[in-house]
A and B are shown apart, each in its own frame.
Chain A
């Protein structure tokens, strides 16, 4: 009973903190770098989703509107599960509270983008009424696709290579502590001190951070929803409360990944019964701020730049793994 309350309490705290993260990123870093005042901290993270809840619910233009609408919920649930398994009260679940399970749930997170992209048929792309076909074309009989289809293809590619850095970084603590169970990793660090303070840990943390940026599709790794071509990519057709869920999902993913970092590299699991949760919150606040200071100075990477960066990060991750073995 006591532990269930603890789990629920931790989730609520995490949820509340996660709502502030987009605002912190926007106001404290982006606006400051751009020498302007910027929005209030509460606006992008809290008020925007709240506003979307009060908007009229409309059916998205999609071949499977219900499935399309349920995707952010699935994403949110998978993020919630990841967060759940980082809470110490659930470590007795064994197989679930392990890195393999977390990798599995992160995969769901990535795969939903493919579905979102291929199910969205926005007015901003092919449905825009324009007498194209009447005017003929240089290549008349080509199949025409929506902008979101491009996004779906990109999401598919990102599954193939984009998430390598994060996954490799996840396994660095596992190699060091000799177990894939989160409970064992935390216990190891309580004895030997945080993994971050070893050579392998530092490299692993850097790789983790790059993976974190790629998974969150933040600039410069924003090709999935690049404004220069696909406008908003997979999210195009979400309106009203479903869009609110998309906002919340992103904020919560930010928090969860930061928590994962503090569990794996600092050995501090989130729990409202210990002061350690302050460390979690601190990491969760620092990570988006650090990410924002990189993204404020970066252009969009096309695949020409994306491949080398992920490749380099992956190599770095392998180096960290090797260092961990030694």
Chain B
């Protein structure tokens, strides 16, 4: 790329109407076309990994939930999984099923938020509001299960919190809720994809091809939107009893990204239905485990945004050497790359299409220079 054509630099953030989270985007533009982009994170850095160092493991687990308000449940789940792997705790099957139900509900709520926010950035206030309305159902379900709308904290070491045990009433409510969501999202998707104005706005905008996606180490639905069939859920043991498809799209543009999320909502509904149908009986928590020192244990789960990695060691019941790698940090490269050659108004859309969660990302920044 020729550096001489860059005319001016536009900065957006840290407070901006299209980006609710604080981060900085510097766009190098020529004639309103983005020639290069630079995303600066770190505004939001709170040092969660550092303050976790030396906390008792239960307390540290509940702190991981505060990394992100959108995918709080999955952070907690992964952190608990690390401890369980290290301590070799077997959890009851029922607890595992309920954890999956919560994780999938969370995926639905996160994807709906993504779609709503995407529509807001697209300038379509009506769809944004409708999606927020659909999302309220999931929030209500999560509140019924966990007792809070955002930080519901279901998994604990050895199972799930007894508060989150599913009785007949809750099961019935979840069944009704996911049916409603499925119907509504389907209606939305039909309406959305048949709207010529929206389609002309999102088709071919900020595309990412398969090769670049792999080169930039993109993960999650953003990777699947480029046609790579990769889903950490397929590699997780607890997902073995469930039958679901890995959704892929071909183009990697905003349209593919939106559609991947829409179809993943349907897959999540499918998983929840199977889980509710085959929900095993029995206890939900096994408290018979004993604390011991462990080596650094690693765990990967599929968060709504991609592969999430947690690892730590245990020493006298306290956590050591915490490392958390969130999916958004992998996608920042894709965000910067996808914007090049597109209009400034599409720039925020190109960032939003990768479903950024900079709050997740800003815990510790490690700059790796790649050759």
A residues lining the B interface (CB < 8 Å):
30, 33-36, 124-126, 128, 130, 132, 135, 137-139, 142-145, 147, 149-150, 153-154, 219-220, 222-223, 226-229, 231, 296-305
Contacts and interface: CB of A to CB of B under 8 A. Distances in A.
Contacts of A228: 17-18, 121-123, 345, 348-349
A138 B15 contact: no
The 5 closest A-B pairs by CB, nearest first: A300-B123, A299-B122, A34-B129, A299-B123, A142-B9
Contacts of A231: 16-17
Contact of B347 (A154, A229, A301, A305): A229
A117 to B, nearest CB: 13
A227 B20 CA distance: 12
Contacts of A142: 6-9, 28
A226 B123 contact: yes
Nearest to B196: A305
B38 A138 contact: yes
Contacts of B347: 229
Given A34-B130, A229-B345, A305 B201 contact: yes
Contacts of B10: 125, 144-145, 147, 150, 229
Nearest to B128: A34
Contacts of A219: 123, 125
A89 B58 CA distance: 82
B125 to A, nearest CB: 7
Contacts of A301: 197, 201
A304 B12 CA distance: 22
Contacts of A300: 122-123, 201, 345
Contact of B36 (A33, A138, A296, A302): A138
B3 interface: yes
B344 A150 contact: yes
Given A34-B126, A142-B8, A219-B123, A302 B38 contact: no
A130 B349 contact: no
Nearest to A127: B11
B21 interface: no
B15 A139 contact: no
A231 B123 CA distance: 12
Interface string B13-32: 11111100000101010001
26 contacts: A30-B125, A128-B11, A128-B15, A130-B11, A130-B24, A138-B36, A139-B3, A142-B6, A142-B9, A144-B11, A150-B32, A150-B344, A222-B123, A227-B18, A228-B17, A228-B121, A228-B345, A229-B344, A229-B347, A296-B126, A297-B126, A300-B201, A301-B197, A302-B346, A304-B200, A305-B197
B198 interface: yes
A128 B25 CA distance: 12
Contacts of B124: 297-299
B117 to A, nearest CB: 11
Contacts of A130: 11, 13-14, 24, 43
Nearest to B200: A305
A299 B348 CA distance: 14
Contacts, number: 126
Contacts of B36: 138-139
A311 B365 CA distance: 49
A132 B11 contact: yes
B28 A138 contact: yes
A118 B223 CA distance: 41
B343 interface: yes
Interface string B184-217: 0000000000010110110000000000000000
Contacts of A298: 123-124, 197
A304 B16 contact: no
B9 A128 contact: no
A229 B27 CA distance: 11
Contacts of B119: 299
Contacts of B26: 132, 137
B278 interface: no
Given A300-B123, A303-B32, A145 B9 contact: yes
A222 B121 CA distance: 13
A143 B6 CA distance: 9
Contacts of B122: 228, 299-300
A208 B110 CA distance: 43
B201 A302 contact: yes
Nearest to B343: A302
B133 interface: yes
A26 to B, nearest CB: 11
Given A138-B36, A305-B200, A34 B125 contact: yes
B344 A299 contact: no
Nearest to B42: A135
A143 B126 contact: no
Nearest to A219: B123
B343 A304 contact: yes
A227 B11 contact: no
Given A132-B26, A228-B349, A36 B129 contact: yes
Contacts of A139: 3, 6, 9, 28, 36
A299 B7 CA distance: 28
B158 to A, nearest CB: 44
Interface centre among B28, B124, B133, B345 (most CB of A within 10 A): B345
B172 interface: no
B148 interface: no
A261 to B, nearest CB: 24
Contacts of A128: 11, 13-15
Contact of A124 (B16, B126, B343): B16
Contact of B201 (A35, A36, A222, A299): A299
